């Protein structure tokens, strides 16, 4: 179970509002990249089902959705940031992920005074003090909560986007390079939500 040790250190240092930031969807061949920022204050406690919050990749889709609702109810603020496949192709996936994170932070009300970011990169062009934490979704509660929010939001988004292109079965693979998705790509070629800068799509376009 995750605790609030990291967050409490920052509260003790005088920060009133702490945010955790993570993204979902760096790896898929299609769809947007989505980031989430989760903000708590000193009154927040981990209790009940919130003790199950962990890295979203270790949870079932059903559990993620249950925790998503609970996180939204219990924390002070939640916001997501979305960057489209076209923008991913334009600025690359790392920059697009950082931009989605920046959008999520800037959309928060109230704004966090300190941020924990998952990964090794801080968010550029953001004046808020921040720490980048490698493997943060397994170490910092706020980041783990953000990982769940980002993952659930992204799954919903690509499922909705995918309804325009039913032949690709996006609801099943969520844009990841599964055997089914690659088979559909060979059959139908890329569609407008595919990331044209990603290897398998590039190769198909060349052919």
Q: How confident is the model at residue 109 (pLDDT cuts 50, 70, 90)?
A: very high
Question: Please, how many CA atoms are within 13 Å of residue 138, restricted to the half-sphere of its CB?
Answer: 5
SS3 content of the chain, % helix, strand, coil (to 5): 50, 15, 35
CATH T-level assignment (fold) for domain 5-206: Nucleotidyltransferase; domain 5 (3.30.420)
34: pLDDT strictly greater than 90? yes
Q: Is the pLDDT of residue 119 over 80?
A: yes
Given a cut of 80, is residue 24 above it in pLDDT? yes
Degrees to nearest 5, angle at CA 113 with 95 and 49: 85
What is the spatial distance between Cα 14 and Cα 43, in angstroms, rounded to a whole number? 14
- Positive or negative torsion for Cα 109, 114, 116, 122: positive
CA separation for the pair 153, 171 (Å, rounded)? 13
Q: Identify the CA nearest to 55 among candidates 15, 97, 24.
A: 24
Q: Is 12 helix (H, G, I), strand (E, B) or coil?
A: helix
Beta bridge partners of residue 36, listed in sequence order: 22, 80
Q: Is 60 helix (H, G, I), strand (E, B) or coil?
A: coil
Whether the per-residue pLDDT at 181 is higher than 80: the answer is yes
Average pLDDT over residues 132-159: 98
pLDDT value at residue 202: 86
At 203 the pLDDT is 82
- Please give the pLDDT value at position 205: 77
Domain residue extents for the chain: 5-206
CA distances to 30, 76, 183 from 163, rounded to whole Å, are: 13, 33, 18
pTM of the model: 0.96
For residue 194, the 8-state DSSP code is: B
R_g (Cα) of the chain, nearest Å: 18
Q: Are 62 and 25 in contact (CB under 8 A)?
A: no
CA dist., res. 25 & res. 12, Å (int):
34
Residue 204's pLDDT band, with cuts at 50, 70 and 90, is confident
């Amino acid at each position: 179970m995750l605790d609030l040790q990291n967050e409490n250190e920052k509260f003790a240092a005088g920060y009133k509002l702490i945010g955790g930031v993570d993204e979902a969807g760096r790896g898929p061949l299609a769809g947007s990249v989505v980031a989430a920022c989760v903000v708590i204050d000193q009154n927040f406690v981990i209790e009940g089902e919130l003790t199950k919050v962990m890295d979203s990749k270790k949870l079932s889709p059903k559990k993620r959705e249950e925790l998503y609702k609970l996180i939204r109810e219990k924390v002070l603020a939640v916001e997501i940031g979305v960057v489209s496949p076209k923008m991913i192709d334009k600025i690359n996936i790392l920059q697009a992920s950082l931009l989605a994170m920046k959008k999520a932070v800037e959309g928060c009300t109230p704004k966090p005074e300190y941020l924990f970011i998952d990964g090794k990169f801080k968010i550029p062009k953001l004046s808020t003090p921040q720490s980048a934490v490698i493997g943060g979704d397994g170490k910092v509660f706020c980041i783990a909560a953000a990982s769940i929010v980002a993952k659930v939001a992204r799954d919903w988004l690509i499922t909705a986007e995918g309804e325009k292109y039913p032949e690709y079965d996006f609801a099943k693979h969520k844009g990841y390079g599964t055997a089914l998705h690659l088979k559909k790509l060979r059959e139908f070629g890329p569609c407008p939500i595919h990331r044209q800068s990603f290897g398998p799509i590039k190769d198909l376009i060349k052919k």
